[in-house]
Copies of this chain bind each other. A is one copy, B any other.
Amino acid sequence: MESLRIDTPSVVVDLDVAEANISRFQTYCDSHGIKVRPHIKTHKMPALANFQIGRGAIGITCQKISEAEAMIADGGIDDVLITYNILGEAKLARLRALSEKVKLSVVADNLTVVRGLSGAFATATSPLPVLVECDTGAARCGVSDPEEAATLAAEIDALPGLTFRGLMTYPPAGAASKVTAWLTQTKNLIAAKGLSVEVVSSGGSPDMWHAHEMPLATEYRIGTYAYNDRSLVERGTCSWEDCALTVLATVVSVPSEKRAIIDAGSKVLTSDLLGLNGHGHILGRDDLVIDQLSEEHGRIVSEGPIGLEVGDQVQIVPNHACVVANMLNRVELVRGSKHLGSTPVAARGQVW
């Protein structure tokens, strides 16, 4: 990577690796009849979203309206699910405008959100499809039990401007049978109300190779898989060679035998740990630990002599790719050892 003469600290994306990651999972899903709806929060770049669609994804997932606006700007994407409770006049007006440009659906887990959506779409030419978000164990958003889900589904169906489309969950890892039971019961309760569950949307990169264990799900949302990261390597989901996003950093100081300082700190690597020790993996140097980050400095320590000199470059697989991709205005694109130039991370830094 040194011969690329990329200034540091930079976020570097190897498109060969990212495209292989995207293709590999699409092939797996194709073989199991699972539709893929990639979450673009990881890369936030229209070119990669378009590649995902080109490989067979049915549409994209976004977490923010601004992400959707950025992704559809060049016209290559026509199906967007926003997996977020959307509230407030300003956001609802933008959501309504977005719905006129693209096939849009959203999620909701409470009546306040549903009523707001209904108010904004009551005069729309076609109703907004809404999925009920279900908490199947992750304890974040989502209705808490199947009865509540069925009640909310009926409320969505009854309100003007909306149509009930199905169920969405961000399941806890390794809980396919429990999640399936939860969703099956919910589906039956909803069917008993005369409504049909067209979509069951599940997802998550850690469990990606187990997606087929939950055949109830009609689509799979997945983000990190495009880049992968240290958290997924440590879970055994992928290998270091599958990590498309790295941070390139330069050693700026070697103050003692067992300590070196690099120019990548928390303003590029972030402080996300995801349960890991240390702030990323230095490729080719299993013996080193990035034990501390300041804003623009990373501290590397070693048990023995550190074997780094001022001016050396290191390539770091971060703990969590999705947050690192969000830190700089531009990322550097490479294919193997060929530097293609930099490109803006279109959807980053926006409020909503």
Give the interface of A toward B (CB within 8 A).
5, 7-10, 41, 63-64, 84-85, 87-88, 90-91, 109-110, 112-113, 135, 139-144, 250, 252-256, 259, 261, 263, 266-267, 270-273, 292, 294-297, 299, 309-311, 322-323, 326-330, 348-352
Contact = CB atoms under 8 A, between A and B. Distances in A.
A323 B266 contact: yes
> Main secondary structure on chain A at its contact with chain B?
loop
Stoichiometry, as copies per complex, reads 2
B141 A253 contact: yes
Given A84-B252, A110-B254, A322 B350 contact: no
A142 B299 CA distance: 12
Nearest to A135: B255
Residue of A109, A259, A295 contacting most chain B CB atoms (<10 Å): A295
Contact of A140 (B85, B140, B261, B310): B261
Given A84-B296, A323-B266, A7 B349 contact: no
A348 B41 CA distance: 20
A250 to B, nearest CB: 6
A144 B349 contact: no
Contacts of A5: 90
Contact of A10 (B309, B311, B348, B351): B351
Contacts of A250: 87-88
Contacts of A90: 5, 7
B323 A349 contact: no
A106 to B, nearest CB: 12
Contact of A329 (B110, B112, B350): B350
Contact of A310 (B113, B252, B352): B113
Closest 5 CB pairs of A and B: A329-B349, A112-B310, A85-B252, A271-B271, A141-B253
A111 to B, nearest CB: 8
